[in-house]
A and B are shown apart, each in its own frame.
Chain A
Amino acid sequence: MRTLKVRGLRIDDSFAEAFPMSGTAIIITAPTLKWARQAATTMTGFATSVIACGCEAGIDRALTAKETPDGRPGVRVLLFAMAPDMLQTQLMNRLGQCVLTCPGTACYADIGGEKKLKLGSAIRYFADGWQISKKIGGRHFWRMPVMEGEFVCEATTGMTQKAVGGGNLLIMGDDFATTLRATEAAVAAIGKVKDAIMPFPGGIVRSGSKIGSKYKALIASTNHFYCPTLKGAVATELDDDIGCVLEIVIDGLTSEAVSAAMRAGLAAIIRLGPKRGALRVGAGNYGGKLGPHHYHLKDLLP
């Protein structure tokens, strides 16, 4: 692998290969940020990869009371799936099980677009005939009586089919502690980028996968080229000084959001430097033939 040297760090001359997805954005509010965040965390908990979760989801950012429709603190959640109908199913299930159930919450659309996904319209029947439809200032809401009071939920939210999934950075370091430090710095920086989320636990995935497996039933398996414990035994992408690899996967509502997120992450890793952080940064791709979006690391350097 050809590498560029930036402030002592090796940057692979490689690119992240990403795919078009269907994406949506919603706002969850509550009397306190704690409970808005709790609903969002629960809703996006088992949503790391479309491979087995049906969708990828995460918290875009926290919102102050002034930024939300009902004047209460909130969080913005993004959800992504491979197709609109899958996104609708996941949105309905997660809204019904994780937001409707969470004390104090209300839920609103936070993306436009002609194509709509059902929010309150999908779960209003839970109210068993006591649901109340309200149109306020051109927006349509459903009020549903619940044991704690009332759950208010916008009828629909918008959807984009120009979302992008699979932006990524492979952060490689000497050991677990330094690699994690660099990756955490990148996660913190990417967290400030609007319209992008990192769906894996704490934004980080330690078990990056390759397509296919020796077992017929599996469509993906461990990315053995980047496993340090297999170094020497298999064909490897790792240098002698690399002892740990962590990955950040990024989904964005737009291609620009994904490249901005990768740029911010890369800048944070480089700022930390090789002494305290990572030694090398790469990106995952499939040879460029599968995904239409390519993000070359050399174009994203600070």
Chain B
Amino acid sequence: MSVLVFTLRAEPEQRLNLSTLVPHRLDKLTQREIESIAIETTKVVTKVGDMFRVRKGDPAQIRFAGGSRRFDRIAEAMTAGTILVEGDVGARAGRLMNSGTLTVSGSAGPWVGSGMEGGSIIVAGDVGEWLGGPLPGEMAGMRGGVVTVKGNAGREAGHRLRRGTIIIGKKAGPYAGRAMIAGTLIIAGGAGPLPGYLMRRGTIVLNEAPEQLSPTFADSGPVELVFARLLAESVKLQAPAAAKILNRPLRRLSGDLALEGKGEILLPV
């Protein structure tokens, strides 16, 4: 069966909550039923058919022809299948995702992969703040899966990351991996000030020394890690630059010693 396509009719005039357009919620619906799904918006209630031209297809494979920074909550709580957005997306893309793949050819807003439990998110452009992070009031951020960002990430990428892997191809903003609980955060193009600030456990891999590091990280010196080889092997297809860093001789910084200090920042020697 062919791909289910939502072609954007025109740039939306208000923010759209697209959390209903995920494979498991569209399963067994007719084209008319899909077109009549109401989209929560900020002002005027609208329907899927008003915003998109819908081309019938397999709801396990969804394609958005055209994106917008006003596309919020895309692929939210997705349980299986694939969603491809040809363009940008807004806030909370892939939040609470459980399985499947979300691919964004453009850039994404804040909270990409927030609270995600499994599956894979690939963003070709940049992402906003709190990549994988919790919403206010939540205890933990991302809990599993893999997020690959080819571009830059905003401040506090990997905030309260608990499990899973985040790879940032270019630069990350300040406080990357802030209060990390565990998990793995790789930044291949340079980190802003104070990466790993108040991290408990987990691994942050950097391509170079950050412009500012908290004094509560202790230099454990050069290390040879079999674990780095395993990680390199697992990311080499989606992020060859990250794999390259991991295959270089590495230095380990232990921290944040202001807390448990069982986390680490790995840097090329």
Name A's B-contacting residues (CB within 8 A): 29, 69-72, 106, 130, 132-137, 141, 143, 149-150, 152
Contact = CB atoms under 8 A, between A and B. Distances in A.
Contact of A150 (B165, B182, B223, B231): B223
Nearest to A108: B230
Nearest to B118: A138
A29 B182 CA distance: 26
B171 interface: no
A150 B234 contact: no
Interface string B130-154: 0000000000000010000000000
A135 B226 contact: no
Contacts of A106: 226
B201 interface: yes
Interface string B210-237: 0000000000000111110111011000
Contact of A132 (B201, B224, B226): B201
Contacts of A135: 144, 163-164
A136 B224 contact: no
Given A132-B262, A135-B144, A135-B163, A70 B233 contact: yes
A71 B229 contact: yes
11 contacts: A69-B230, A106-B226, A134-B184, A134-B203, A135-B163, A136-B234, A141-B227, A149-B223, A150-B225, A152-B226, A152-B227
A150 B226 CA distance: 8
B interface, size bucket: 10 to 19
A150 B165 CA distance: 21
A150 B231 CA distance: 15
Contact of B262 (A70, A130, A150): A130
Contacts of B223: 149-150
B226 A70 contact: yes
Contact of B233 (A71, A149, A150): A71
A295 B229 CA distance: 44
A71 B231 CA distance: 11
A137 B145 CA distance: 9
Contacts of A143: 225, 227
A87 B262 CA distance: 33
Nearest to A152: B226
A135 B233 CA distance: 13
A234 to B, nearest CB: 56
Q: Is the interface of A mostly helix, strand, loop or mixed?
A: strand
B144 A152 contact: no
B227 A133 contact: no
A130 B252 CA distance: 15
Contacts of B233: 69-71
The 9 closest A-B pairs by CB, nearest first: A137-B234, A152-B226, A70-B229, A106-B226, A136-B234, A143-B227, A70-B226, A152-B227, A136-B230
Contact of A149 (B144, B225, B262): B225
B60 to A, nearest CB: 21
A109 B93 CA distance: 35
A129 to B, nearest CB: 8
Contacts of A70: 226, 229-230, 233
Given A134-B227, A143-B225, 12 more contacts: A70-B226, A70-B233, A72-B226, A106-B226, A134-B184, A135-B164, A136-B184, A141-B227, A141-B230, A150-B223, A150-B225, A150-B227
Contacts of B225: 143, 149-150
A174 B45 CA distance: 96
Contacts of A132: 201, 262
Interface string B237-269: 000000000000000000000000010000000
A71 B232 CA distance: 10
Interface string B178-207: 000010100000000000000001010000
A152 B224 contact: no
A135 B234 CA distance: 11
A148 to B, nearest CB: 9
A149 B224 CA distance: 7
Nearest to B264: A132
Contacts of B182: 133
A149 B250 CA distance: 13
Contacts of A150: 223, 225-227
B148 to A, nearest CB: 13
A29 B227 CA distance: 12
A226 B144 CA distance: 61
Contacts of A130: 262
B145 to A, nearest CB: 10
Contacts of A71: 229, 233
A286 to B, nearest CB: 46
A70 B226 CA distance: 7
A119 to B, nearest CB: 15
A106 B227 CA distance: 9
A133 B182 CA distance: 9
A136 B226 contact: no
Contacts of A72: 226, 229
Contacts of B234: 136-137
A273 to B, nearest CB: 48
A152 to B, nearest CB: 4
Contacts of B165: 136
